[in-house]
């Protein structure tokens, strides 16, 4: 029987489709011809021909979406029989011989006429996920010959923003649930981690570096949970994708003061500090005890220095050349939409610090008395001896002396008086040293003579 002499012979091969549908498709493309000769000569000629056979299996192929793919079906002894390609899952005839039956513009067919074992290639361009499945190659013999190959389409993960969480703001102490949904083939897995690689506090007793699953729930969040969280989707098909979700935790301002009592002499500069934690960022300012706000001026300078993490900051008030009128209470105040707070610092007068003067300036010498015991013909006797330590600052009963040594030489009256007093002390000290030395020598000379 000649090929396609009976439409039913080919329809037996295409068991996937209704008979009428396949027949209409074949007739429309001129694939099914009119019945061939039925003479005994033709029947004998057909009897001596070998039946067509597949010479190789159809390889299973895995391809990323968007690539092009080619499926091969190799046949020998095809003769006048036809080769058809079908998509098994879609129950669709794709090609018959050189004709493309499907309306899918991404499908085409070619074959190698010069190959001894003719190979029919099914081409699919820009492969999509719906193209995956079993592809069937058939030869329209009386008993249809069929073989299958599988096309596996892998798709990189993609996070669906429409069903995933976006940035969230929550009050401290509340619970937070973050969701991340992703598509891909094979289905991607989801894991969570913090953007700064710190640990995730699921609960107080469950702290992890990473969390797996579509949903991340944080119980009773605190300011320490604030930051960016990464939802990472992977399925073995590059590239992996991630979504950054920022969690903001709101709370009223809190502050602490390193030094609530600050002593400073008149004429010195001083800086007052308050440490603040607040989110959202607080409005910060300083006042005196009369609630009068302090503004930047030649005397005052205010600043707020951002810290790390971002909800921390430091308030500073710089006061230049403190005067008696500057002593008193200073308040640092912080306000945000969640509340406000304040703290107080007391600035009081103190004596200037004492320092060792440089070697280029005249140093004051002080004496430290001690007692030594000497043996004499009249028994044990004692004599007070003074040790002299240089470099110890002379302390006057008057604050002007110390203050004058911190000022430059052109603030002269107090400075001159300090130098005069130093000269008087040095003269008395030198005189005392001379008499003590003479007395010691006399002891060493006369004591041996008496013995």
User: pLDDT tens, 131-171?
Assistant: 999 999 999 999 999 999 999 999 999 999 999 999 999 99
Return the higher-pLDDT residue of 433 and 241.
Answer: 241
Neighbours of 438 (CB within 10 A): 10
Q: Is the pLDDT of residue 408 over 50?
A: no
What is the predicted pLDDT for the residue at 182? 97
Return the higher-pLDDT residue of 440 and 353.
Answer: 353
CA dist 90 and 130 (Å) reads: 9
User: Once rounded to an integer, what is the mean pLDDT over residues 370-377?
Assistant: 36
Does the fold of domain 257-349 match that of domain 161-250? yes
- Domain 161-250 is found in CATH 3.40.50.2020: no
What is the predicted pLDDT for the residue at 435? 61
What is the predicted pLDDT for the residue at 318? 97
User: pLDDT tens, 34-70?
Assistant: 333 333 444 444 445 788 999 999 999 999 999 999 9
Q: Is the pLDDT of residue 106 over 80?
A: yes
What is the predicted pLDDT for the residue at 441? 55
**Which of 229, 82, 90 shows the shortest CA–CA distance to 170?**
229
Mean pLDDT of all residues belonging to the chain: 78
Q: Is the pLDDT of residue 437 over 70?
A: no
Residues 207, 211, 212: CA angle, nearest 5 degrees: 155
Name residue, tokens 């993609």: 158
User: pLDDT tens, 321-369?
Assistant: 999 999 999 999 999 999 999 999 999 999 887 766 555 433 333 333 3
Q: Phi-psi bin for 31: left (phi > 0), alpha (psi -120 to 50), beta?
A: alpha
Q: Is the pLDDT of residue 392 over 50?
A: no
Q: How confident is the model at residue 444 (pLDDT cuts 50, 70, 90)?
A: low
Superfamily of domain 257-349: Immunoglobulins (2.60.40.10)
CA dist 83 and 423 (Å) reads: 123
Of 276-285, 356-365, 376-385, 420-429, the one with minimum mean pLDDT is: 376-385
User: pLDDT tens, 216-268?
Assistant: 999 999 999 999 999 999 999 999 999 999 999 999 999 999 999 999 999 99
Sequence-separated (6 or more) residues with CB below 8 Å from residue 58:
71, 72, 73, 135, 137, 147, 148, 149
Both structure tokens of 56: 């190789």
User: Once rounded to an integer, what is the mean pLDDT over residues 416-445?
Assistant: 53
User: Once rounded to an integer, what is the mean pLDDT over residues 283-292?
Assistant: 93
What is the predicted pLDDT for the residue at 133? 97
Cβ-contact 39, 18 below 8 angstroms: no
User: Which of the 8 DSSP states describes residue 293?
Assistant: B
Q: How confident is the model at residue 425 (pLDDT cuts 50, 70, 90)?
A: very low
User: Once rounded to an integer, what is the mean pLDDT over residues 382-398?
Assistant: 33
What is the predicted pLDDT for the residue at 368? 37
Percent of all residues in the chain with a pLDDT value above 70, rounded to a whole number: 67
In CATH, the architecture of 53-154 is Sandwich (2.60)
CA dist 113 and 194 (Å) reads: 60
User: Once rounded to an integer, what is the mean pLDDT over residues 177-189?
Assistant: 96
**Which of 44, 285, 237 shows the shortest CA–CA distance to 127?**
237
Q: Is the pLDDT of residue 277 over 90?
A: yes
What is the predicted pLDDT for the residue at 442? 59
Q: How confident is the model at residue 79 (pLDDT cuts 50, 70, 90)?
A: confident
User: Once rounded to an integer, what is the mean pLDDT over residues 273-287?
Assistant: 97
Sequence-separated (6 or more) residues with CB below 8 Å from residue 5:
35, 36
**Which of 121, 128, 125 shows the shortest CA–CA distance to 153?**
128
Domain ranges of the chain: 53-154, 161-250, 257-349
Both structure tokens of 88: 């098994």
């Amino acid at each position: 029987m000649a090929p396609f002499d009976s439409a039913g012979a080919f329809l037996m091969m295409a068991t996937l489709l209704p008979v009428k549908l396949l027949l209409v498709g074949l007739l429309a493309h001129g694939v099914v011809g009119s019945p061939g000769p039925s003479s005994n000569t033709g029947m004998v000629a057909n009897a001596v021909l070998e039946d067509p056979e597949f010479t190789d299996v159809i390889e299973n192929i895995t391809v990323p979406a968007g690539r092009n793919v080619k499926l091969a079906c190799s046949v020998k002894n095809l003769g006048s029989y036809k080769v058809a390609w079908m998509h098994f899952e879609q129950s669709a005839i794709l090609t018959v011989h050189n004709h493309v039956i499907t309306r899918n513009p991404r499908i085409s067919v070619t074959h190698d006429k010069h190959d001894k074992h003719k190979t029919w290639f099914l081409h699919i361009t820009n492969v999509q996920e719906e193209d995956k499945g079993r592809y069937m190659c058939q030869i329209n013999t009386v008993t249809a010959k069929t073989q299958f190959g599988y096309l596996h389409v892998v798709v990189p993960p993609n996070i669906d923003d429409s069903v995933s969480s976006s940035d969230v703001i929550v009050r401290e102490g509340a619970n937070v649930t973050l969701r991340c949904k992703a598509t891909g083939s094979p289905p991607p897995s989801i894991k969570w981690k913090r953007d700064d690689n710190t640990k995730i506090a699921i609960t107080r007793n469950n702290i992890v570096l990473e969390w797996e699953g579509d949903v991340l729930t944080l119980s009773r969040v605190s300011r320490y949970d604030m930051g960016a969280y990464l939802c990472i989707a992977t399925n073995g098909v590059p590239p992996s994708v991630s979504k950054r979700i920022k969690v903001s935790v709101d709370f009223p301002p809190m502050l602490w003061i390193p030094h609530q009592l600050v002593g400073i002499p008149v004429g010195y500069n001083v800086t007052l500090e308050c440490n603040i934690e607040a989110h959202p960022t607080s409005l910060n300012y300083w006042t005196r005890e009369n609630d009068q706000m302090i503004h930047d001026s030649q005397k005052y300078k205010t600043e707020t220095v951002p810290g790390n993490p971002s909800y921390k900051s430091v308030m500073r008030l710089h006061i230049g050349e403190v005067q008696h009128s500057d002593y008193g209470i200073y308040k640092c105040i912080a306000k945000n939409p969640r509340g406000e707070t304040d703290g107080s610092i007391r600035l009081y007068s103190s004596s200037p610090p004492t320092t060792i003067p440089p070697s280029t300036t005249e140093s004051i010498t002080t004496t430290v008395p001690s007692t030594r015991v000497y043996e004499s013909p009249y028994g044990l006797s004692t004599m007070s001896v003074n040790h002299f330590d240089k470099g110890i600052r002379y302390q006057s009963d008057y604050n002007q002396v110390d203050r004058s040594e911190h000022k430059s030489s052109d603030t002269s009256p107090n400075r001159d008086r300090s130098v005069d007093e130093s000269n008087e002390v040095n003269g008395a000290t030198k005189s005392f040293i001379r008499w003590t030395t003479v007395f010691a020598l006399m002891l060493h000379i006369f004591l041996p003579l008496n013995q």
